[in-house]
Amino acid sequence: MGFLSYFRFKKLKREEVVNSIIKLEKEQEAIEDGIVEKTAEIEELLKKGKAEKSQEIRLLYAKKINYLKAQKQRDAQRGMYLVYNINLMNKLKDAMEDKEFYANTGKIPINKLLGDQKALAKYLNKALNLRVKEEDILTTSDDTFNEVAMQYDLNETIYGAGKNDDQLLAMFEEQDTAEQEETIAAVEESGEAGLIEKEFEETDE
């Protein structure tokens, strides 16, 4: 029995599963629509029952409402059954797609090569050793550059201040000092002029 079941699954096509899912989904949608209609009908009967004065007609509405509620509950159970069935069908479809995907991917030459774990490990170790070796060369060279650079002193003739440079720097400093003194003198003069003008104004008064 187990072998026959396996053989049936093996012969099963994805399109057949998809068609079954579509059919079940249509049934589920029809049930959902029916539940919505019954809910609306129940609400309408409840309104009529509240507005009705006759006890006999109220009883009639009550029996209709209870019958519709029972049908709605039955439909909801059927809908849940279909949802569960659809979920299982989708799992089966996913499994079939996975089987096809991994089977096709495994046929790629490079994937078959990856199946040889011993050869792969040997290759990876060699690749890693080469990488470490080349990285060590770079870091050692970088250290050498840094050591040599630390021993280097700046050429004062090029980067330092010579005799002529010092004279110009001194002149710049004297110019800055002279400008500052002129600014201070101008401020003082403006202050004195303000005082004299104020004295003139007071005299005129």
Q: Give the DSSP per-residue string, 114-131.
A: HT-HHHHHHHHHHHHHHH
With 0-12 CB in 10 A as exposed, 13-18 as middle and 19+ as buried, what is 60?
Answer: middle
Among the candidates 114, 145, 178, a domain finishes at 114
* Cα dihedral sign, 85-90-95-100: positive
Residue 140 maps to a domain: no
Nearest of 160, 21, 16 to residue 86 by alpha carbon: 21
Could you tell me if 191 and 90 lie in one domain? no
Could you tell me if 109 and 160 lie in one domain? no
Tally of structural domains, the chain: 2
Q: Which residues contact 135 (CB under 8 A, 6 or more apart)?
A: none
pLDDT of residue 103: 81
pLDDT of residue 169: 61
pLDDT of residue 134: 92
The tens digit of pLDDT for each residue in 153-162 reads 878 776 676 7
Could you tell me if 8 and 93 lie in one domain? yes
Could you tell me if 95 and 164 lie in one domain? no
Domain residue limits at 12: 2-114
Nearest of 171, 195, 175 to residue 183 by alpha carbon: 175
Residue 132 maps to a domain: no
pLDDT of residue 11: 82
The answer to whether the beta carbons of residues 93 and 67 sit under 8 Å apart is no
pLDDT of residue 195: 56
Residue 138 maps to a domain: no
Kindly list the averaged pLDDT for each block of 10 residues, start to end, along the chain of length 205.
66 92 97 97 92 89 94 96 96 92 80 81 90 93 90 77 67 74 76 58 57
The answer to whether the beta carbons of residues 35 and 75 sit under 8 Å apart is yes
Nearest of 1, 84, 2, 69 to residue 35 by alpha carbon: 69
Distance of alpha carbon 203 from alpha carbon 169, whole angstroms? 51
How many of the other CB atoms lie within 10 Å of CB of 61?
20
Q: How many residues in the chain?
A: 205
Among the candidates 97, 114, 131, a domain finishes at 114
Distance of alpha carbon 196 from alpha carbon 201, whole angstroms? 9
Could you tell me if 20 and 81 lie in one domain? yes
The tens digit of pLDDT for each residue in 43-81 reads 999 998 989 888 889 999 999 999 999 999 999 999 999
